[in-house]
Amino acid sequence: MRIFNSKVDNFLASLFISICIPLFPLAVSYIFHKSQPVDWVLTAALYPASLFIQSKSRFLFTTGIAALTFFAISLSMRENLPLVLPYAQYAILGVSLIHVVERIQLHIIQGDPFFNFS
């Protein structure tokens, strides 16, 4: 028995698997030892790349690679991580919001399945 129609079901599955699961390490880090700037910057480096690699937009894919490069370079300069922290947080939030909009377009409007279960 389904609670939601298949479009909403695909959208919610996509949000949970694509957006929430990659943020679990950051959440666990925050809960158990109040995450450090390095945790946020590392997440900001990998999160856009992991989300935008799934994108059908070349621009978003390129943006994800650029964010990965910027934050990866920032990781090599440990003394400047507190200065990069707000940008990392904004990047994570912005990437999440962009990906939600993209997933609405893909799963709810176009009706593409997330997984092809029958």
Task: For 17-76, write each residue's pLDDT tens digit.
Answer: 888 888 888 888 889 888 888 888 989 998 888 888 888 889 988 988 999 999 999 888
- Contact predicate 100/15, CB 8 Å: yes
Task: For 65-102, write each residue's pLDDT tens digit.
Answer: 999 999 999 888 888 888 999 999 999 999 999 989 99
CA atoms within 13 A on the CB side of 1: 1
Residue 111: the pLDDT is 83
The pTM score is 0.84
